[in-house]
Chains A and B, each alone.
Chain A
Amino acid sequence: MQELVLNPPGRTMEGDAAKQAERISVREEFELRLGECGPLAFRVAQGVLRNAADAEDVAQETLLRAYRKFHELRRPARFRSWIVRISFRLALDRWRARKRREIRETTWSQPISGAALPSTEEVVCSNEFQARLERALDELPEKLRLVVILAAIHGHTLEEVSCSLGIPMGTVKSRLFFARKQLAEKLR
């Protein structure tokens, strides 16, 4: 008995094979960059969110978005920059949502007595600076914050920051200078 296969008009077996081949080639090309850019996306998100689970989610979302729009990337040299921007934007969105939620929850569940949680002197001392640093970092303008985070990534030179953001080296240096100065002023 002969098996009949219905193909929608305009769709052929050759077309399917071509699409499959294209998909495989895109996937291979993306895989080449994944090993390098996955950690980068995670670290950028971690710098903004300071929470490993959230940063992992953001990194995954970043890489998925990049994969879906991979065909729109005209200049492969800009892939790192692209990933950094997507990750930073997504992390900022999540950070803002978290802030809003925290404010809402704090407003509704504020204890009446307002008593602070007791903690040992040592814990306070060790966490205080980090907490102040995080607050100061959150208050930095986005441009400065991104440069500070990228420059703080281990083994990331200023040239790489410049390439990642697609901005001149001098701009990176000046942004880093102003960012550090502002942070120091806030932490003094």
Chain B
Amino acid sequence: MNCLLAREKMKDAFAAGLPPPQEILVHRENCPGCQAFYLRAENLFALLEAGLHGMVNRPVPTSLLPRVRAALDQAPVLRSFWVPGWRFAALASTVVLVVSLGVLAHYELRRDAVPQPTPLASLGAHQPATESLANAANPSTRGITPRNTASASHVQVPRPESEVIVSAEEREAFARYMVEQSTPKSMTVAVVPTAEADNQPIEIALLQIEDLEIKLLESMPAE
């Protein structure tokens, strides 16, 4: 038998607390090295057991139980807090309901916030007329879309300052335009080339509106 294998089996036997198999004992008799290893391993495991026993089995202090009893006298016994099952069910259903309503309200608000086409006739006095008119009428201003132009289709909320959404590639040019322009924002519109003219340089121009007249469309009934 291989000495390494024999020694491994010796260690296994000692670790398991069992006597070594017969074949190992036979090998040990014929191999002085393994015999020495066997004695060393036997001694090591005996020391190990003795050390562990000595470590754990120290005498229990006589003061332990009186100390514990004294502490128990002052310790309150907590009563089990039992809640009936229907209360859990009611609480859980309330939570689910509240969360559902919250999610529903959130989606409703988001749906309302999506810009919808505004009838030209609905442009009121509060709306910055030039900007909306230019956006609606001029196809070259497709890259610039007013935000929240008509959340409610016929109700115009006065805004202190008009907002313009500019796509990422047009942002720099628009910023330059905003720095350069000195007229009020409500009277100006940035005209930016559309996607088909990507290779051309961006042109920024002021839209000058001399005169503005708002008319009803023929198909729309007069209010």
Contacts and interface: CB of A to CB of B under 8 A. Distances in A.
Interface of A: 19, 22-23, 26-27, 30, 34-35, 38-39, 42-43, 46-47, 50, 52, 55-56, 59-60, 63-64, 67-72, 129-130, 133-134, 137, 148-149, 152-154, 173, 176-178, 180-181, 183-184, 187-188
A109 to B, nearest CB: 28
Contacts of A187: 44, 47-48
Interface string B67-95: 11101100111111000000000000000
Interface residues on B, range: 35 or more
Contact of B51 (A69, A130, A173): A130
Chain A interface main SS type? helix
Contacts of B113: none
A68 B14 contact: no
Contacts of A152: 49, 52-53, 55-57
Given A38-B65, A64-B71, A129-B51, A154 B80 contact: no
B76 A149 contact: no
Interface in B161-182: none
Contacts of B67: 56, 60
21 contacts: A19-B79, A34-B65, A38-B60, A38-B64, A39-B60, A42-B60, A43-B60, A46-B58, A55-B58, A59-B68, A60-B68, A68-B77, A71-B79, A130-B55, A133-B48, A133-B51, A134-B55, A152-B57, A154-B53, A181-B11, A187-B47
B98 interface: no
Contacts of A137: 52, 55
A34 B47 CA distance: 33
A149 B72 CA distance: 27
A57 B158 CA distance: 74
B107 interface: no
B171 to A, nearest CB: 54
Contact of A34 (B14, B51, B61, B68): B68
Interface of B: 11-12, 14-17, 41, 44-45, 47-49, 51-58, 60-61, 63-65, 67-69, 71-72, 75-80
Given A19-B79, A152-B53, A181-B11, 6 more contacts: A38-B60, A39-B60, A47-B55, A153-B57, A154-B53, A184-B15
A58 B77 CA distance: 20
Contacts, number: 118
The winner among B41, B49, B69, B77 for most chain A CB atoms within 10 A is B77
B180 to A, nearest CB: 64
A67 B11 CA distance: 44
A23 B107 CA distance: 55
A68 B44 CA distance: 44
